[in-house]
Amino acid sequence: MADASIVVDSLSKSFANETVLRDINFTVADGDLCVVVGPSGCGKSTLLQCLAGLVEYDRGHIELDGRSDDTLTVAERDLGYVFQEFEDALFPHMTVAENIAFGLRQQDVDYDEDEIDAKIDEMLDLLSIPETKDNVPDELSGGQQQRVELARQLVRDCDIMLLDDPLADLDYKLQKRMELEIRSIHADLESTFLYVTHNQDQALKLADKLVVMNNGMVEQVGTPAEVYQSPETAFVGRFVGDSNAFEGTVTATEGDTVSLDTPLGDVRASVASGTVSTGDASLFQFRPNAVRRVDEGSADNSFAAQLIDQTYTGEETELTFRHHGSEAVVQAVTPRRSSLEVGDDVTIGWDASDTVFFPTLSVTDTTTVTDLQEI
């Protein structure tokens, strides 16, 4: 694994009697932007702290750029680390320029003052905050402070950057802008980014590689396309992207397709990884963007339903249908405006290839169907 910048091997960590990380395995290729995504409390921030050397782990092994971490002090790891709680990270009595220079002066490299000044200007320009150079952090908005913290870490030009949900506290517009900037900064610096977030939308937008975590364990590692299109567990299917999920019992199997007895009636589905036999009961799901208005029988799964609500958001319309014959609610989404009106009775449908039955709910053995429907 010579080209792996980060190797996490069988990592486990407990606090008191609570296991927060259990047998974590993944690698990040040199120069990749890897996003670790999972709900609050899944262990993703602890993982980052283990990599930074701020938290000692119980078992396992970490390699950073080919160096085993047990010989490395925190400083020797030479990592950039951006926290979400940036307010505590900046020095309040120093100007923005001095804050950024501090990171540079900590390095072994002997920069002269002109070089330092040039690097500061370059960073401030990159993050669109050149006007803040001589302000102290207190005089800045939250968004500006977060960008100063980013600048302070990025200016050090470390081979590995750890980012702990750095955009979580920013306003929507600034968040969208900074997502694009983080992508382009990553492309410019050519360093390896490990980025942690609970925001799966951001994760899908930024990642070269996704690590989906749940309750201290890794559920799936893959490209965004692999994770979104071929979720291996029901947790991954539910957590990454939007979905409709119901319980179903297998009534027949033929090749890669199964027939399911469900609250909606008979449903045909493809099978996620694992084996199935007749009588198995588990969760199945389909994405709202797979649901369309159909002529009866022209999709693998089609049902009579009534439109009970719709909301137009400019870019798309979200539709809520109530299935005739059961109280089941099915969400659909269509580009721009829909031609339907609330109260309309229609036939909706989706294909078996867009419907996934999950033999495995989760890699954890504590996740229940109810938990997953709550997501």
Task: State the minimum distance, in angstroms, from the CB of residue 374 to another protein.
Answer: 8
Indicate whether 306 belongs to the interface with another protein (CB under 8 A): no
Q: What string of DSSP letters covers 109-173?
A: S---HHHHHHHHHHHHHHTT-GGGTT--GGGS-HHHHHHHHHHHHHTT--SEEEEESTTTTS-HH
3-state percent helix, strand, coil for the chain, nearest multiple of 5: 30, 35, 35
Q: 273-292 burial by CB neighbour count: b if 16+ within 10 A, else e?
A: eeebeeebebbbbbbbbbbb
Site string for another protein, 213-232 (x = CB under 8 A): -----------xx-xxx---
183 interacts with another protein by CB under 8 A: yes
Neighbours of 343 (CB within 10 A): 8
Tokens 């909606």 belong to residue: 264
Task: Rank residues 225 and 252 by Cβ distance to another protein and give the closer one.
Answer: 225
Q: Does 19 bind another protein (CB under 8 A)?
A: no
Q: Give the Cα separation of 286 and 323 in Å (integer).
A: 15
* DSSP structural state of residue 336: S
Identify the residue among 152, 209, 268, 287 touching another protein (CB under 8 A): 287
- Residue 15 makes contact with another protein by CB under 8 A: no
Q: How far is the CB of 185 from another protein (least distance, A)?
A: 12
Q: Which of 12, 253, 289, 306 binds another protein (CB under 8 A)?
A: 289
Site for another protein in 116-175 (CB under 8 A): 128, 141, 143-144, 171-174
The residues in 312-331 that bind another protein, with binding defined as CB under 8 A, are 312-316, 318, 320, 331
Residue among 156, 177, 322, 324 that touches another protein (CB under 8 A): 177
Cβ proximity to another protein, 158 vs 178, nearer residue? 178
d(CA 248, CA 358): 10
Taking CB under 8 A as the rule, does residue 292 contact another protein? Answer: no
Instruction: Say how far apart CA 103 and CA 89 lie, in whole Å.
Output: 12
227, 212 Cβ separation under 8 angstroms? yes
Q: How many residues does the chain have?
A: 375
Compute CA distances 197 → 39, 43, 217, 233, whole Å: 8, 11, 15, 20
- 242 binds another protein, rule: CB under 8 A: yes
Does position 18 interact with another protein (CB under 8 A)? The reply is: no
Residue numbers at the binding site for another protein (CB under 8 A): 39-40, 128, 141, 143-144, 171-174, 176-177, 180, 183-184, 198-202, 204-205, 224-225, 227-229, 239, 241-242, 287, 289, 308-309, 311-316, 318, 320, 331, 335-337, 374-375
